[in-house]
Amino acid sequence: MKVGVAMSGGVDSTAAALLLKEQGHDVVGLHIYMHEYSRYSWGVVQEIAHKIGVPVSLVDLRSHFREMVIGRFLSEYAQGRTPSPCLVCNKLIKMGLLREHALSLGCDMVATGHYARVVHTARNSLLLKGVDVAKDQSYFLAMVPRESLAALLLPLGSITKTQTREIVQNMGISIPRSADSQELCFIHGQTYKEYLLEHGVMSAPGPIVDVHGRVLGEHRGIMGFTVGQRKGLGISAPHPLYVVAIDSQTHTIVVGPVEHTFVDSIDIEQFNELGERPVQPGEVFRVKVRSTSAPVSCTAAAVEDTVLTLRFHKPQRGVAPGQAAVLYREDEVVGGGWIYATKANEGVLSGRAFRA
């Protein structure tokens, strides 16, 4: 089988290519030219491809990445939301445009170095957690449409990160430290705020108020804040204060004590159904509301097409609109959607960002 492997120059994608080649597949390396830093990683990828004996080509998707991923990232921050660009990239770039390019080259499947599993059956393809719990990356693939999963291979889903490194080391390949995975591949040597300002995200100044509406200070732009933030608020108070709401229409930052950062339910939209059976109202799941958080229990309180309301069994803090919520049944990824509102107990201010 001919397989196009997305090769970044890091340990994971290198090991994925090696494993597929060892399994007898006809492996073709594909390096996405996404932004200016891809020029460095392209050189690394060429060296690695030569060492493992696979052809590799550069796929220029810069304009698409700038529009689809960076453009949304900038827009979300400008509206007071907390974006998740990696999920957008996996859906639209890697398993969208790159997949189409690979198929045009005669590839049967596309592979990446994510720590997750895809099980292909006669009926459909299911996305599962990776066996390495500490490195599981199924969260980042939850927005990939089911039809795209049918053409996806994930060679690292059944092994650990330690085994991955051993595979690469046993081939005598040294991966530069800077070429390994990063949080956001398109931001280097800058804070998020610096990057946003450099790219023209200029929001108006506005008031910082407490949960009762009292003005405590002024900020220079909402893009420097996110729900749950404590440090860098630019105000002083006798007790710690946290961002509990961002109003992008009035450019208001609302702050309060830690108890006001807890929410009881979330509303998500554009839900991407991936499970073996549909989500039913009243069904209990485990949900992740950000990549670094542990899954927590919730109940699907309402289900209407691609819009869901999820009620947490225990209040959760630091949940921000713009983030992705991913549902699980044991190891199975049921699907993922974008958080657009959160709700708290009566009498406690909602930690939502108001939609522009």
In the numeric block, the tokens 């020029």 are attached to 39
**Selected catalytic residue, list 86, 89, 107, 298:** 89
| Residue 105: closest CA among 22, 2, 33 | 2
Please report, for residues 180, 282, 294, 325, 326, the alpha-carbon distance to residue 113 in angstroms, rounded to integers and kept in the order given. Answer: 11, 35, 22, 22, 20
Are 300 and 282 a contacting pair, CB within 8 Å?
yes
Do the annotations mark residue 347 as ligand-binding? no
Q: Give the number of other CB atoms < 10 A from CB of residue 7.
A: 31
Do the annotations mark residue 113 as ligand-binding? yes
Do the annotations mark residue 13 as ligand-binding? yes
| Strand ranges (E), the chain | 2-6, 26-33, 56-60, 109-111, 116-120, 125-129, 152-153, 206-210, 215-219, 242-247, 252-256, 262-273, 284-288, 296-304, 307-317, 324-329, 332-343, 353-354
Do the annotations mark residue 10 as ligand-binding? yes
Do the annotations mark residue 279 as ligand-binding? no
Radius of gyration in angstroms for the set of CA atoms belonging to the chain, rounded to a whole number: 22
Do the annotations mark residue 12 as ligand-binding? yes
Sheet holding 2-6, edge to edge: 56-60, 26-33, 2-6, 109-111, 152-153
| Residue 8: closest CA among 72, 25, 34 | 34
Instruction: Check if 107 is active-site.
Output: no
Instruction: Check if 185 is active-site.
Output: yes
| Residue 353: closest CA among 243, 277, 224 | 243
In whole angstroms, give the CA distance from residue 247 to residue 346.
Answer: 19
Are 325 and 311 a contacting pair, CB within 8 Å?
no
Do the annotations mark residue 9 as ligand-binding? yes
Output the furthest CA–CA distance in the chain (Å, rounded). 67
Beta strand 56-60 pairing with 206-210: unpaired
Do the annotations mark residue 350 as ligand-binding? no
> Which residue numbers are catalytic?
89, 185
Binding site feature residues? 6-13, 32, 113
Binding region for ATP: 6-13, 32, 113
